[in-house]
Chains A and B, each alone.
Chain A
Amino acid sequence: MKLLTKISLVGCLLFGANVVIADEFTQETVDEAHAEFMSVVEKGRGLFVDPNLGSNGVVCAQCHPNGANTHPETYPKFQKQLGKVAPLWEMVNWCIRNPLEGMELDADDPDMAAIQAYIHYERRGVALAPGKK
C-alpha cells in the first residue's frame, strides 16, 4: 500500500509539472508547423511565376494557373513523356527541361520541395488517385 501510494504520488508530481511529453501536439507546435509549411508554399508560388526558373522566360503558371491541371493526386503514375511510372517531381523536371528550356532540379533541392508544396497546396482536398491516367 505504501509503495503504491509512493508511486502514484510520484506519478502525480510528474504529470502535474509543466513537462512536455513527446508526441503531444500543442497548438503552438501545430501553428509553427503550418507556418513553416506555408512559407515554403509561398516560396513555391514564387518559383511557379519566376521567369528565371527556365531559360526562356516562360513560367509554370502560364499553362497551370493556380497549379491547375497538374493533378498531383494521380502520382506516381505511368508518365508517357518519361516512359515509366514516375513521381510528381520527375514530371516537374520534365516541364522545367522542356517548355521552360531550363535545367532540371535535384529531387532533394529545396526549390523542388517548394514547387511540390505549392502544387499540392492548390490541390488540397482532392482525393488520392495514384496511377490514374
Chain B
Amino acid sequence: MTSRRNFIKKAGVLAAGSALPLSVVELSHANTEDNFTFAFISDSHIQQIKGNQFVQNWDRGLQRAVAEANLLDPKPDFIMYGGDIAQIGTAAEIDHGLEIMSALRGKTHYVMGEHDYYLDLGEHWSKRLGDQYYSFDHKGVHFVVLNSIVTTEEWTNKWSSGEERMGVMAGLDDPRGSPFMVGDVQRAWLEKDLKAIDDATPIVVFSHSPLQKLFANWNFWTDDAEQIQAILGRFDNVNVFYGHVHQIQYNQIGNIKFHSAMATAWPWPYPNSYAQATNYMPKLTVPMNRADPFFERDATGWQFIDIHSGKADLQYILPDNDDRKLAYNKDTGRPEDTQYQVKQKASQKHY
C-alpha cells in the first residue's frame, strides 16, 4: 500500500504547480476583487485544402484548446485570441476557425495576425470581428489590442494581387517579406488612448508580433519596437502578450514584461537553431524541449493567465508535455518559470 500512497502524494504536489485548475482555483493574493483570469489561445492557422476539407492537424489543435478551455472552473472572465486564425486569410479559413472557436463558452476578443491580414488587408476579418485595434477596461486593468503586423505602404501596394502578397508573407523565411510594425497611425492612437491613464494603472497589451526586435529572418520583429516601448515606458506595470513565434519566450525591458503564446497548430524552432544567421533572442527563458512530430499536439498549446493586482502569472497548457508556469516573482520583480528556474530543473537538448 505504501508505494502507491507515496506515488499519489508526489503526484498531488506536482498538481499544485503544473495541473490545469479544474477544481476551484486558489488565488491566494490580496485584493481579490482585482483578481481575474482569462484564457489566451493563438495561431491556429486553419488551412483549407479544398472545399470543405481543411488540414486536420490544425483543426484538431484548435479543437483541443477549445475543449480544454471549456473545462476551466471557475470560468475565465474572457478569452483572448492572439492572431493567425487562418493560414492564407480566405473567408473559408477565417469562418471555419471562428466556427471551431464558437464552441468556447465566454466572450472572446481577437487580435489580427499577418496570415489573417495580407490577402485583403483584413477586410473579411473585420467584417466578422470588428476593429483591428482597440482598447477596453476590465476590473481596473486597461487592455490594448494592436494590429502590429502591418508594414510599409510601399511594400503592401507593390504586389499584383492580394494572393501574391499573402503568399509571400505566409512564408516565415521568405526573404521577399517585410518587417512588421505598428506604424504611425496606431502609435498616435495609442498615445491618445493612454493619455488620461495614470502611471499606476496596470496595462496589458496584445499584439501579434513581439513588440521587440528578436530575429529579422523570421519576422520575430516589430520595427518601431523602441517607440512603442517608449510610449508604454511610463507605466509601473505593463504586460505584453504576443503570438506569432509559436514557442515559449519571455523577457523584461524596464517595467514591461513580454510573454509569447504557443500556437495551437505547430511549433517553431528557436532562432538560434538556424546556423546561418545571427539573432538577438532575449536571454531566455528556458526553451521548450524538442517536439516529437508523431504526436501532433507536442509543443503546441494555449495559455491561461491569472491577473492579481495587475501582476500576470501565465500558465502554458501543453497537451503533450508538462505545463509551464511563469509566475511573477515579487523578490526579483519579474516573471520566472516555476519549474525550470525556481526549482532549477535542467532543460533538455535533444534532436
Contact = CB atoms under 8 A, between A and B. Distances in A.
A and B touch in the complex (CB under 8 A): yes
A126 B218 contact: no
Interface string A115-127: 0000000111110
B256 to A, nearest CB: 27
Nearest to A91: B293
Contacts of A66: 173, 217-218, 274, 276-277
Given A122-B276, A124-B275, A61 B294 contact: no
Interface stretch (B136-144, B263-271, B301-309): B263-271
Nearest to B267: A63
A46 interface: no
Interface string A64-103: 1110110100100100110000000000000100110000
Contact of A81 (B273, B275, B276, B294): B294
Given A61-B171, A126-B275, A80 B294 contact: yes
A7 B160 CA distance: 72
Contacts of A49: 171
A74 B294 contact: no
B351 A71 contact: yes
A34 interface: no
Contact of B269 (A64, A74, A126, A132): A64
A133 B290 CA distance: 11
A125 B275 CA distance: 8
Contacts of B276: 66, 122, 124-125
B292 interface: yes
B350 interface: yes
Nearest to A74: B351
Given A68-B269, A69-B269, A126-B275, A99 B57 contact: yes
Contacts of A56: 47, 49, 55
Contacts, number: 67
A114 interface: no
Contact of A63 (B47, B218, B268, B275): B268
Contact of B273 (A62, A68, A74, A77): A68
Interface residues on chain B, size class: 20 to 34
Given A58-B47, A66-B217, A133 B55 contact: no
A63 B293 contact: yes
A77 B351 CA distance: 10
B103 interface: no
A110 interface: no
A58 B55 contact: yes
A99 B296 CA distance: 8
A66 B276 CA distance: 9
Interface in B42-62: 47-49, 55, 57
Contacts of B171: 49, 61
Contacts of B173: 61, 65-66
B172 interface: yes
Most chain A beta-carbon contacts within 10 A, residue among B47, B217, B266, B276: B276
A81 B296 CA distance: 12
Given A56-B49, A98-B294, A99-B57, A68 B274 contact: yes
17 contacts: A61-B173, A62-B266, A64-B269, A65-B217, A65-B268, A65-B274, A66-B173, A66-B217, A66-B218, A68-B274, A69-B273, A69-B290, A74-B351, A98-B293, A99-B293, A123-B275, A125-B276
List the 3 closest A-B pairs by CB distance, nearest first. A69-B269, A65-B173, A71-B351
Interface of B: 47-49, 55, 57, 171-173, 217-218, 266-269, 273-277, 290, 292-294, 296, 350-351
Given A62-B266, A63-B267, A65-B172, 20 more contacts: A49-B171, A55-B49, A56-B55, A58-B47, A58-B57, A64-B269, A66-B276, A66-B277, A69-B273, A80-B294, A98-B294, A99-B57, A122-B274, A123-B275, A124-B275, A124-B276, A125-B275, A132-B351, A133-B350, A133-B351
Interface of A: 49, 55-58, 61-66, 68-69, 71, 74, 77, 80-81, 95, 98-99, 122-126, 132-133
